[in-house]
Copies of this chain bind each other. A is one copy, B any other.
Amino acid sequence: MPQSDTGNRRIVLAARPRGLPTPRDFRIEETSVPTPSEGQVLLRTLYLSLDPYMRELMNDVGPAYAPSVPLGETMAGGTVSRVVASKNPRFRVGELVLSRAGWQDYAVSDGEDLVPLGEMARPSLALGGLGMPAFTAYVGLLDMGQPKPGETVVVGAATGAVGAVVGQLARLKGARVVGIAGGPDKCRYAVEELGFDVCLDRHDSRLAQQLADACPDGIHVYFENVGGVVFDAVLPLLNIGARVTVCGVIAHYNDDAPASGPDRLPKTMSTVLQKRIRMQGLVILDHYADRYDAFRRDMGEWVDAGRVKLREDQVDGLESAPEAFIGLLQGRNFGKLVVRVAGD
């Protein structure tokens, strides 16, 4: 069922998941293509971004930075879209924009939430390596983590949309980079293609010891986007004055009950105190006004110069989104996960 000119397919939240979502938590619906009112544009989705934060929007209470998706409503998400009709003088038909159109073929917008993309050789990069995930890596690593040459930076989900950029930016800044990723293929890619110094398999039961061996000078910067056992392996290795950017805790997004003991909080707080750790939560929405222009300039240069490599994991067709998203939460993607909704 490809995109059509007359019908709008949308994927709605059918049920609130308990734990890992299943395909039954989503439903695909066909509606008519909306008609833009005065001041609005009609957008056709080319690419849909799938990102871990969406799992939190499926809960009854959303995170502090975004509301929950109501039951029966279209799943939220960033898209690269093309303006196919315009009643807004700021946008012309044919223009490419970054949008929050969600998991559907068509959407209308008053333009307030749109970012014009100009001409891009690979428009989908606006959802990944030149977009939100890479911007997250940029602010979280450079502004908050502040790695210095020779310091050791550790990042989980090392080949994911954020982690891969974190590691490469840390290398650019002269730091030593230890990644943690799921499986030997991803680890090999992180070292051989992305230039990580070491990459460890998070499935290995000896992870804690391997991480200690890989960090003989301790850890100066930890970019947290995983939680769980990775955090446990990192905590005892943090150096005095270490910086921890808390960007995500994907290991916990599917928790549907308070975690059982032991209680790891007292030990964590003691470590924060004794090691004078600075831990900071990052929601990238806060930083567009101040830092987005610098990011676009720097990242564009680095990508053009081949100093940062970007890998996409594209799946075809809107209908593939739920399965691909479930895989993302299990670490089955390899690179930034993007749904190619329509040929251009």
Q: A90 an interface residue at 8 Å Cβ cutoff?
A: no
Query: Given A249-B266, A260-B262, A263-B264, do A282 and B278 touch, yes or no (CB 8 Å)?
Result: no
Query: Given A252-B266, A263-B260, do A272 and B278 touch, yes or no (CB 8 Å)?
Result: no
Q: A281 is contacted by which of B261, B267, B274 (Cβ under 8 Å)?
A: B274
Q: Which residue of B lies closest to A287 (CB)?
A: B276
Q: Please name all residues of chain B whose beta carbon is closer than 8 Å to the beta carbon of A272 when the two chains form the complex.
A: 246, 279-281
Q: Please name all residues of chain B whose beta carbon is closer than 8 Å to the beta carbon of A273 when the two chains form the complex.
A: 63, 246-249, 281-283
Q: A323 an interface residue at 8 Å Cβ cutoff?
A: no
Q: Which residue of B lies closest to A262 (CB)?
A: B258
Q: A286 an interface residue at 8 Å Cβ cutoff?
A: yes
Whether B227 pairs with A65 at a CB distance below 8 angstroms is no
Return the CB mask of A322-342 against B: 1 if under 8 Å, else 0: 000000000000000000000
Q: How far is the CA of A307 from the CA of B64 in the complex (A)?
A: 38
Query: Given A240-B64, A262-B263, do A269 and B282 touch, yes or no (CB 8 Å)?
Result: no
Q: A270 an interface residue at 8 Å Cβ cutoff?
A: yes
Segment 210-240 of A: residues with Cβ below 8 Å from B: 224, 227, 231, 240
Q: How far is the CA of A277 from the CA of B246 in the complex (A)?
A: 9
Whether B266 pairs with A227 at a CB distance below 8 angstroms is yes
Segment 23-82 of A: residues with Cβ below 8 Å from B: 63-65
Which residues of A are at the interface with B, using a C-beta cutoff of 8 A?
A: 63-65, 224, 227, 231, 240, 246-249, 252, 255, 258-283, 286
- CB<8 Å pairs between A and B, sample of 29: A63-B274, A64-B240, A64-B274, A65-B274, A224-B269, A231-B265, A231-B269, A246-B273, A248-B273, A249-B266, A252-B270, A255-B266, A258-B267, A259-B263, A259-B266, A260-B261, A260-B262, A261-B261, A263-B264, A265-B268, A271-B281, A272-B279, A272-B281, A273-B281, A273-B282, A275-B281, A276-B280, A277-B280, A278-B280
